[in-house]
Chains A and B, each alone.
Chain A
Amino acid sequence: MSVASRCAPRIRAARLIARHALSVRHRRPLAWSLLAAAVFGVAAGLRGDDDSAQRGDAAAPEVSSISVATADAPLLRDRIDQATAGQWGNADWPLADDAEFVRRIHLDLIGQIPSVETVRSFLADGAVDKRARLVESLLDDPRFVRRLADWYDVSVMERRPAVNVPREEWIGFLRRSFEDDKSLRRLGYELLVADGTDERGRAAARFLLDRDVDTNVLVRDVGRLWFGVDLQCAQCHDHPHINSYRQSDYYGLYAALLRSSLFKDAAGKAFVAEKADGEHEFVSVFTEDKGTAKARLIDGWIVPDGPIPTELPYVVAPADGVRAVPSMSRRERFAEALLDSPDRSFARNWSNRLWALLFGRGLVQPLDLHHADNPASDPVLLEALTDGLIENDFSARSFVREVVLSRTYQATFDIERAMAADPAPQDASLSDATAALAATSDTDAVNAESAAYTLRIAASDAWLEANATYRDAAAPLLAAERRLSESQQAEAADAARREQLTTSVESTRGIAAKLSEAATAFGLDPNSLEVPLFTARGDAALAEIAAIDARATERPATIAAAVEQIAALRPAADAARETLQLRRADLERAWQSWETARREMAERRELRSRIESMTARRAAIRERQSVETELARVLDRSADHDRQVAEAKASIERLTARLNETTVEVERRTVESTVADERHRDLETSATRHRQVATELERSLVALRSAADLWPGDPTLASTIDPIASRHDEAKRLAEAAEGDLQRTNDERRRAGESIGAARRQAEEVEAELTAAEAALARFDGERTALQTQVESLERRRAEAEQRWIEIAERQGAIAALAPLTPEQLGWSVLQGTGVLQNTIDATRQELDAATPATEAEAIDPNWIAMRERQALVGALDKLEPSIGIFISLFGNGAAQPQDGFFATADQSLFFANGGTIGSWAASGGNSLRQRAAAVAAEPNAAADELALTLFARPATERERAWVAEALNNAGDQMPARLDELIWAWIAAAEFRFDR
């Protein structure tokens, strides 16, 4: 499939990507992106395609040209601190305390937490140089080499399964490499050139073999792992959203690797084969630019082919079942360029990766995304580290030592302390930086870089041209030399063969003669038995001798011709080589000037970003301070409010009580009035009745009296009138009395009514007061809620400011970031923390002592004792190593995926909680944490300290002591179980999971 057709489907993706990239970029402050575009866009625009101007090939340069440190160059650790101090604005930032340091340095150098004895003795040690001494002893610990080997393995193999080289061989190779302090550059070279044929060095071929020597895979991974650039998208076009990634970078690596392939012999064993031909023609899907790819390193250093003997492209020509070996290996030339070119991208990449090993993240992050739009958080620091790595000949050990002895590495984890020490609020450092930036101009820097770049290209062209000349001159010379050496080899081989044949002729003749004699003696045909066979063999040998002799007569002429030819060709080739070396030196000088110019540009950019981040840090600090002030004020106000609310509540309570009283009074009086009303109604009823009786009786009396007048003297009438009259009088009297009563009750009623009114009025007054008090309370409550909201938003602002500050300070190395433990660190730390490691070391020492007991002299020889201790440690590490597998499978990312991300999944915590591993390790006997804590369980503070010193390398806090006391008090025979719970919980806690 052609590149173009494979790429066509990607265009749409690229557009999506570009759209996304645009939205990402828009988040940057506009001014900065404009400026960045001005500075770097111009340079890129002037440039065009890097190697379009370069042609031809050159011989492998022999001498390393990477700049070497001058004698008075400051130590790398000081340069690191200088860079950090520049960012921070002050050289005096707070350092980690001993407890922080001892845990951090153990995790970083030997990949596990310290033993509790180490913690105790380190904390107790009063010597000023104790940190440096601890660093030296850890660099000498066998676990340091293992940590580096694991780191390198995970970095370059990304947890791929071992297929073509057993893992033990591979990891053994890496451990030996780091034990010998092999340069990382040498190691990178070896991994690229190893073809698997060297049995002892076969492990180095794993990098290529376990990627099936697939060109695309290798280009991607060499780009990512050797140079820190992920060129995936540049496969088909210039990287759609990363300006500095160009198709020529991708195909530069592609051209270096495309001739190599996987070869399997008849037994299925894998090797690397390489062809002598194969070029890559590429077409960009965007620009339709075409070209033949030249092998090159990422920064544009071209790796031209070396001379190939005329018409002899192969040492072993390709054929079925044969591993092809070319006369000139392009892959090897590419790898050699790593060793001797002035390219810095390899060194920069590994500086960043080593930094990430110690800090949990790179200055460039993701580690494989070095590019202009993703600059290092501190470019000057990264360049200083790169210088340091180069000057220390790519020694991981020296680099690590320097970094961990810097103040930057030893920065504190404590935010409060660091924030308090932040000098950012002072303007001095900021204005220094601004002045420094103003002292020169961007245009000058850009112009200088462009000019240096143009010179570099010209020098490169000249060099490539010289290389082409040299190639032309050297090719026939090499062929003549090859012919001469072949003739000489053939001559030697013929001579040896001739000697062998001569012996053979004599012996076969002798045997034939003896057989013939025997046959004659037995009366047989002298030509019977095996006589003819031996005669024929002798004849054949004679014939071969004749052929050899014939060749020998022609050979001196051939050899002489070759010698003559060589003599004729050599001067031109030598001259061409000399010119080539001169051009090469020119190129290296031009390259260095360009690097310097580029660095100046980078430094300007760094200065700008330093100003930006100092401004941001200062803003964060000020914001936090003003929030603190505001918060204090609001909290004061809220205290006033609390008082007012309390008062309002008290008065409401009082008023409510009074309201109750008055209401009761109103009710009582109402009841009284009702009673009076009823009595009045009764009296009215009875008065009315009496009046009616009196009226009726009066009417009767009038009628009776009229009747008596009409019928005077009737005794009955006369006797009737009197009683009725007295009845009438009585009724009248009763009615009048009732009237009097009514008058009285009316007064009573009036009075009762008046008293109710008074009581009601009083109640209303109290109620009004209460309503007012309630309204006040509601108001206070409302205000308090508003204050609460205000407090919350202030706290949020404070947290945001802190978070902004933390992010910047972490990036600048002024405070220690929190880094998750790698799966290996986590597993080993659990083994160390629970005491399983120490128990295993003890057991291994006993085995060793039993197998080879110490002599009397040895038993008191400190060197011997130290050696035995080391043997026991290494033995224990080997025994326990398989236990780490489960941590890798749960806490590591999938095979062939980047391994520096963090993820927390339920299956990890299910393993911790229920998997049995942690529990059974924690429940170990011997000198385990559980046993030690149990021994002091009666004294909970001591038990708490034992736990905290062992697991967190610090004494327990007061609260932790209280929790431990609470858990262990009255535990009785449950004490060991309670301890198990505590140990599990503290191991499962976030503080254990992270390096700080």
Chain B
Amino acid sequence: MKRCDYACGSEAHRLERRRFLGGLAGAGALLGPGVLGGLGSLATPAAAARLIRNERRVVVFNMSGGLSQLESWDPKPGRPTGGPFRAIPTSVPGIHISELLPRTAEQMHHLALVRSINTAENDHGKGAFMMLTGRAQVPGVEYPRLGAVTAKALADENDALPGHIQITPGGGGNRGNDSAYLGPKYSSIVLGNGNPPQNSSRPEGISAEADERRQAHRRRMNEEFATRRRTAMTDAYVASYEQALELMRRREVFDVSRESQADRDRYGEHDFGRHCLLARRLVEQGITFVQVTHSNYDTHNENFNFHLEQLGEFDGPFATFVGDLADRGLLEHTLIVVLSEFGRTPGINHLYGRDHWGSAWSICLGGAGIARGAVYGATNEDGTAVADGEVDHGDLFHTYLQAVGVDSTDSFDVDGRPMPIGDPNAAPIEALLA
């Protein structure tokens, strides 16, 4: 076969051919097992300039175990259910929160509260599922977590860096199983205790030159094979190695020790402080979704001592995080959510504890498209029921996505089957959307 010598070599021409092949693959998706994600990586070079500042991002603080709304966002001082702590004024006149969050109170003008959540669910697993997927758990159906949805909707799919990251107190650096039908490309990469992703640095035994040599061998073999058969799958496979190399080149993104000593001091050297600083670093580097877990708020006994201690650790780094994002102009594009699987009972048990409580509780959120300094809904005097503006996990899920510009009423197309992004039975809380 005759080939034209000057038409084949140019990068632009190759790119065109790739685009073309990518397009074909999309059209043929119903005909064969499709490629789950990763295809778009072929359309533009991974190093394409990204407008980091304008990208929308989401940071979730998951108060694992069930944060008490009464010791945080919805205090009831002086009431039989109120417990020993006072309420303090915040930077927004009229809004009071628990005295356990003095630094956060100073940032209230950047934040908003929802005080009227009724998820009617008192089980840890189910509650967490509902709050992170916006759906009730239906047997036989898995839904992608907020991070996977956000990454799918917002992240640049050409980016070698993962769009969905979880910072957990412990655990490994593996891939989470939380993307359901969106496929593993959108599963979280878990940064156990803030460590970088698994296998992201070259082993000691292999020099940079050796790595270059073997990668060059690999590329030559692939080019040769592509002349025999080239499909969306082979392209995606070949591209995944280039993405891995790109991720290795940018590995310092995950290295919190690169932050200044002053910042490290401001956030604190304890784990949660480091994790918050890492979250800031990731957001600044353009990571779409970061979830930081703070554990553990499941205070069936000694609720007050535990909250004093836990929120004491949470308050400073969180408030610093909010303030930093605001100062750096990132808050405008970044949604912050502080959530739990549920709240805690207004009634105080005989062990000075509070139990699981899904029927009248609160979350805190702010940034991106959320109205600043707003309070949505209310509980009654003793906090035993929602008195005004009842919402549930489905409504909140829509609200988060709308706040970062995602049309949550749209659907993802999964292998020809449309999957609604948010629960079609729920709706965003318009009053919270600025």
Contact = CB atoms under 8 A, between A and B. Distances in A.
B17 A818 contact: no
Interface string B218-245: 1011101110110101101111110111
Interface stretch (A8-16, A77-85, A286-294, A460-468): A8-16
A134 interface: no
A441 B313 CA distance: 79
A894 B199 contact: no
Contacts of B17: 796, 799
B205 interface: yes
B174 A913 contact: no
Nearest to A991: B225
A967 interface: yes
B32 interface: yes
A216 B160 CA distance: 39
Given A635-B4, A963-B217, A989-B218, A221 B140 contact: yes
A361 B410 CA distance: 30
Interface stretch (B92-100, B103-111, B398-406, B413-421): B413-421
B30 A374 contact: yes
B411 A901 contact: no
B431 interface: no
B351 interface: no
B43 interface: no
Interface string A894-927: 1111001111111111111111100100000000
Given A216-B138, A902-B36, A906-B247, A985 B2 contact: no
B199 A910 contact: yes
Question: Looking at B21, B202, B237, which has the most chain A CB atoms within 10 Å of its CB?
Answer: B237
Interface stretch (B122-130, B184-192, B253-261, B297-305): B184-192
B161 to A, nearest CB: 9
A740 B8 CA distance: 77
B417 to A, nearest CB: 8
Contacts of B54: none
Given A16-B418, A996-B229, A906 B187 contact: no
Contacts of B201: 914
Interface stretch (A171-179, A469-477, A517-525, A787-795): A787-795
Nearest to A20: B418
A818 B229 contact: yes
A605 interface: no
B243 A894 contact: no
Interface residues of B, number: 91
A982 interface: yes
B357 to A, nearest CB: 22
A910 B210 contact: no
A232 interface: yes
B183 interface: yes
Interface string A794-818: 0110011001001100110000011
A994 interface: yes
Given A17-B411, A904-B237, A896 B217 contact: no
Given A795-B7, A800-B24, A984 B214 contact: yes
B424 A986 contact: no
A913 B246 CA distance: 13
B7 A792 contact: yes
Contact of B180 (A894, A967, A982): A894
Contacts of B198: 907, 910-911, 915
Interface string A626-666: 00100110110010000000000000000000000000000
A890 B187 CA distance: 11
Contacts of B231: 818
Contacts of B355: none
Nearest to A892: B184
A867 to B, nearest CB: 40
Interface in A212-254: 212, 214, 216-217, 219-221, 230, 232
A996 to B, nearest CB: 7
Contacts of A895: 177
A365 interface: yes
A903 B185 contact: yes
B418 to A, nearest CB: 5
16 contacts: A415-B228, A788-B7, A791-B7, A792-B16, A795-B4, A799-B20, A901-B415, A905-B240, A907-B244, A959-B224, A985-B214, A985-B215, A985-B216, A986-B221, A990-B221, A991-B221
Interface of B: 1-2, 4, 6-8, 13, 16-17, 20-21, 24, 28, 30-38, 138-142, 160, 162, 174-175, 177-181, 183-185, 187, 189, 197-203, 205-206, 210-211, 213-218, 220-222, 224-226, 228-229, 231, 233-234, 236-241, 243-245, 247-248, 410-411, 413, 415-418, 420, 423-425
